[in-house]
């Protein structure tokens, strides 16, 4: 395409890559739901280089699709099929610019992996709490663009809560740099929060100042058998009361999920508590010398006395790692059959009700499937998945996807919840956003998009339906 040669003339012959070996691995999303084409790949290594590329593309009305580790679930980093877009990868931008232990802050380029940020924090005897299964490959820019959550939201919050400042390039190439480690700054609109979660549609985040915490000195982990989601909710409340802010994680795991992991992952081992319909994986952590094992053991003893659990096992360090691997390995890739996925959130107090009503919807709409609802009960986020039964007819199972999705999303909306708790919108859920957002919300989003990206070049077709630039 003509713009490729023009951009090479402006930036140098090595500024773009167009070969199929360079492009092909980046043209499909993590789940292989979407596949597109791109005219070229740009690999800037500085904010200034991102700025020059965006300024050129804005002038020439060339779409730009930013991409981090490409680990998203909604096709948010996949170009469309036109083949006219510039794919912009931030993988060369991976410097840790600063670590300030006294400010409990770290400044990192957007291309740094989450694991690299965690290691940099540990090197300063500090802790960055975002934890994801893809932390070795997902990038900080993508974590910010999707407002990533993970397993520690109950204690530390989402990526929004972990970010003190950002640096970003707008569509016209202008740069916003707000990287000071300030906890208080009430000077106008909070552009940081506007850009976090925008999935590259309002600007391309190139760096961030991230919030650090004291290093964790003590942890305690337990696996608990519970009879119902209601019992799990009551146990969660007791643990929060007894442990204050030391409760980091409370994960709900159904027997169906445990069975799949044990069946399909040879190295997996049953945690050893009494068999039950549901389990809780809980973790306490402290930056002091507190006796976390003793605190958790006392809380669990009280829970069992109150009939808030069937059985519990406190896990020592090696066993805790093994139990965490059970959670992280679901869903097992080797499991047979398709899976219909829903990433919902509801008020924590209504999670048991949602599971009951959602289970009835599954039985009504998809007899070829069985429910596997697991996730972060501590913050109200469930991965409400329906798996294909062994031997079931795949076309019949998949034909139920649309009506089931509508029923599940209508249910969660009626309960004051969200159809997208932590995975974002991307291109997968644009129609859902149009259905469930209030008209005034959509109008405000479109106005913001037009104000910051009037030519519509930034990640078109993601979050909001767009007119091609």
Distance between CA atoms of 432 and 2, rounded to whole angstroms?
Answer: 37
Confidence of residue 333 (pLDDT cuts 50, 70, 90): low
Distance between CA atoms of 203 and 226, rounded to whole angstroms?
Answer: 45
Within the chain, which residue ranges are assigned CATH 3.30.70.2740?
339-414
Handedness of CA 407, 413, 418, 424 (dihedral sign): positive
Is domain 218-328 given the CATH code 3.40.50.2000 in the classification? Answer: no
Task: Return the axis-axis angle of helices 401-414 and 351-365, rounded to nearest 10°.
Answer: 160
Burial grade of 28 (CB within 10 A; 0-12, 13-18, 19 or more): middle
**Statement: residue 297 has pLDDT above 70:** yes
Report the share of the chain in percent with pLDDT over 70.
97
* C-beta of residue 238 within 8 angstroms of C-beta of residue 299: yes
Q: What is the SS3 assignment for 128? A: coil
Distance between CA atoms of 55 and 467, rounded to whole angstroms?
Answer: 20
Q: Could you tell me which of 203, 208, 207, 201 has the C-alpha nearest to residue 76?
A: 201
* C-beta of residue 206 within 8 angstroms of C-beta of residue 453: no
**Statement: residue 145 has pLDDT above 90:** yes
The pLDDT value given to residue 469: 39
Distance between CA atoms of 137 and 133, rounded to whole angstroms?
Answer: 9
The pLDDT value given to residue 467: 62
For 178, other C-beta atoms within 10 Å of its C-beta total 19
| Distance between start and end Cα atoms, the chain | 16
Within the chain, which residue ranges are assigned CATH 3.30.70.2190?
218-328
**Statement: residue 374 has pLDDT above 70:** yes
The pLDDT value given to residue 316: 76
Which has more pLDDT, 199 or 394?
A: 199
142 alpha carbon, distance to own chain's centre: 9
Handedness of CA 451, 461, 27, 343 (dihedral sign): positive
Distance between CA atoms of 59 and 57, rounded to whole angstroms?
Answer: 5
Determine if residue 435 is left, alpha or beta; phi over 0 gives left, psi from -120 to 50 gives alpha, anything else beta: alpha
At 162-208, the pLDDT tens digits run: 999 999 999 999 999 999 999 999 999 999 999 999 999 999 999 99
Q: What is the SS3 assignment for 215? A: coil
Contacts of 298 (CB under 8 A, 6+ apart): 242
At 23-70, the pLDDT tens digits run: 999 999 988 999 999 999 999 999 999 999 999 999 999 999 999 999
Confidence of residue 1 (pLDDT cuts 50, 70, 90): low
Within the chain, which residue ranges are assigned CATH 3.30.43.10?
2-89
Under CATH, what is the fold of the domain 96-214? 3.30.465
At 397-427, the pLDDT tens digits run: 999 999 999 999 999 999 999 999 999 999 9
415: its two tokens:
């309960």
Rounded to a whole number of angstroms, the CA Rg of the chain reads: 23
Which H or E run contains 433? Answer: helix 430-436
Q: Which residues pair with 41 in a beta bridge?
A: 17, 87
Within the chain, which residue ranges are assigned CATH 3.30.465.10?
96-214
The pLDDT value given to residue 322: 75
145: its two tokens:
């663009």
The pLDDT value given to residue 317: 64
Question: Per this entry, what is the length of the chain?
Answer: 469
Cα-Cα-Cα-Cα torsion 81, 109, 166, 138, nearest 10 degrees, comes to 50
Mean local confidence (pLDDT), 240-254: 94
* C-beta of residue 91 within 8 angstroms of C-beta of residue 111: yes
**Statement: residue 468 has pLDDT above 60:** no
The pLDDT value given to residue 265: 79
Distance between CA atoms of 215 and 201, rounded to whole angstroms?
Answer: 35
77: its two tokens:
């980093």
37: its two tokens:
């084409």
The pLDDT value given to residue 127: 98
In the CATH hierarchy, which top-level class contains the domain 339-414? alpha beta
Distance between CA atoms of 120 and 96, rounded to whole angstroms?
Answer: 8
The correct CATH number of 2-89 out of 3.30.70.930, 3.30.43.10, 3.90.1150.10, 1.10.3720.10 is 3.30.43.10
Give the start-end residues of each E strand in 147-261. Answer: 163-169, 175-178, 204-211, 213-214, 218-226, 247-254
Q: What is the SS3 assignment for 30? A: coil
């Amino acid at each position: 395409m003509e713009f490729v040669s023009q951009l090479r003339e402006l930036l140098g012959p090595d500024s773009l890559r167009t070969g199929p070996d360079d492009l092909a691995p980046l043209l499909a999303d993590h789940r292989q739901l979407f596949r597109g084409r791109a005219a070229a790949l740009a690999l800037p290594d500085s904010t200034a280089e991102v700025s020059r590329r965006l300024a050129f593309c804005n002038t020439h009305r060339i779409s730009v699709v930013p991409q981090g580790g490409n680990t998203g679930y909604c096709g948010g980093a996949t170009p469309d099929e036109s083949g006219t877009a510039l794919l912009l990868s931030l993988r060369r931008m991976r410097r840790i610019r600063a670590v300030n232990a006294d400010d409990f802050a770290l400044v990192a380029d957007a291309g740094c992996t989450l694991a690299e940020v965690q290691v940099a924090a540990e090197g300063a005897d500090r802790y960055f709490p975002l934890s994801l299964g893809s932390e070795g490959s997902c990038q900080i820019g993508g974590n910010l663009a999707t407002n990533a959550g993970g397993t520690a939201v109950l204690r530390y919050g989402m990526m929004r809560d972990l970010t003190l400042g950002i640096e970003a390039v707008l569509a016209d190439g202008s740069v916003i740099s707000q990287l000071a480690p300030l906890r208080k700054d009430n000077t106008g609109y909070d552009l940081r929060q506007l850009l976090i979660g925008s999935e590259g549609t309002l600007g391309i985040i190139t760096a961030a100042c991230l919030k650090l915490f004291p290093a964790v000195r003590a942890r305690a982990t337990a696996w608990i058998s519970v009879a119902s989601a209601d019992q799990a909710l009551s146990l969660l409340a007791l643990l929060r009361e007894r442990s204050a802010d030391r409760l980091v994680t409370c994960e709900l795991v159904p027997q169906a999920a445990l069975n799949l992991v044990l069946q399909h992952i040879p190295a997996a081992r049953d945690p050893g508590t009494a068999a039950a319909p549901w389990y809780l994986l809980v973790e306490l952590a402290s930056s002091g010398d507190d006796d976390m094992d003793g605190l958790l053991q006392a809380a669990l003893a009280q829970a069992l006395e109150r009939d808030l659990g069937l059985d519990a096992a406190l896990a020592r360090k090696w066993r805790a790692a093994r139990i965490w691997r059970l959670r992280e390995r679901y869903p097992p890739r080797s499991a047979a059959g398709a899976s219909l996925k829903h990433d919902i959130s509801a008020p924590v107090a209504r999670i048991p009700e949602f599971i009951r009503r959602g289970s009835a919807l599954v039985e009504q709409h998809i007899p070829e499937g069985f429910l596997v609802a697991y996730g972060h009960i501590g913050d109200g986020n469930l991965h409400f998945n329906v798996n294909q039964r062994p031997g079931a007819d795949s076309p019949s199972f998949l034909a139920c996807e649309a009506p089931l999705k509508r029923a599940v999303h209508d249910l969660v909306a009626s309960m004051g919840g969200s159809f997208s708790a932590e995975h974002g919108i991307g291109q997968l859920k644009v129609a859902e956003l149009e259905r469930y957002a209030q008209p005034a919300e959509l109008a405000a989003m479109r106005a913001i998009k037009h104000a910051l990206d009037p030519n519509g070049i930034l990640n078109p077709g993601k979050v909001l339906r767009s007119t091609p630039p």
